Copies of this chain bind each other. A is one copy, B any other.
Amino acid sequence: MSSRYPQSVSILDVGPRDGLQNEKQTVTTANKIALVEGLAAAGVRRIETGSFVSPKWVPQMADSADVFAGMQRQEGVIYSALTPNMKGLENAMAAGADEVAVFGAASESFSQKNINCSIRESLARFAPVMQAATDNGLRVRGYVSCVMGCPYEGDIAPQAVADVSQQLRDMGCYEISLGDTIGTGTAYQTNKMLEAVSRVLPLDAMAVHFHDTYGQALANLLIALEHGVPTIDAAIAGLGGCPYAKGASGNVATEDVLYMLNGLGIRTGIDMDKLLDATQAISDVLGRAPVSKAAQAMLAKR
């Protein structure tokens, strides 16, 4: 076992955005607000709260401004939003987002099929967003999708991930979140991918965003911890599914990650018991058990 694990890890909960966006059910604004507030109450210090994108594309996020307006903010918590274009950025700033995020793919086919342009073009389109965000003192996070596999291309070369990561960093992103969008990555690939990316990014600019579609997320996160990656994206209750494998699971569950980190003695500042209160609440809203084995086992004992 590695002795290089970080002493503390920052968990960014993407449940209210990446999670709920990929749930079939629509969740009311009030319940979204309760979710965000529940996460903050549990000690989560980074919450992906919404997305400012055309409601034609993503109807589930049409009320992001209302969520920002209605929620009680807690000091020290960063409430972030996805902003795919200038209009989105303006709306995010108006809503009071603390941080925004842009995205690029490590797979050319994914970029073409998903947003109908090349990786290079997609990054160029973000340039004015980056500029405006920076001018307004907003930090920008960059997401890279398909870092270990693509639904169209299959395996992705680690160097392709490093290249797009470096470009996002050069454009001004302070942190790059490396997304295993379809959850096909394994420990070996995780290691190779992180080796390549760590040659172009400083450690404190690296975050991992793993989906648990093939059940590999925690094993892969263990490899990321060995590399010293300080930030992990996860979704409470494992919210969100996988659009590329019907019925399969998406984001790794925050509870499972927290359980592992607690076991390793890695500090997160999150209180498991309070987190489970929020897990129970959103599970009641959705009318189903959380997609988190740790949460299921712990809630079964309540």
Q: Which residues of A contact B (CB under 8 A)?
A: 1, 183, 185-189, 191, 212-216, 218-219, 221-223, 226, 242, 245-249, 253, 256, 259-260, 262-265, 289, 292-294, 296-298, 300-301
Contact = CB atoms under 8 A, between A and B. Distances in A.
29 contacts: A1-B188, A1-B223, A183-B293, A183-B297, A186-B259, A186-B260, A186-B262, A187-B260, A187-B264, A188-B263, A189-B263, A212-B293, A213-B297, A214-B259, A215-B218, A215-B253, A215-B256, A215-B259, A215-B292, A215-B293, A216-B256, A216-B263, A216-B294, A218-B219, A219-B219, A219-B222, A222-B222, A222-B223, A249-B293
Given A222-B219, A260-B216, A248 B186 contact: no
Copies of this polypeptide in the complex: 2
A187 B223 CA distance: 12
A188 B297 CA distance: 20
A245 B186 contact: no
Select the residue from A183, A189, A214, A296 with max chain B CB neighbours within 10 A: A214
A242 B183 contact: no
Contacts of A297: 183, 213-214, 242, 245, 248
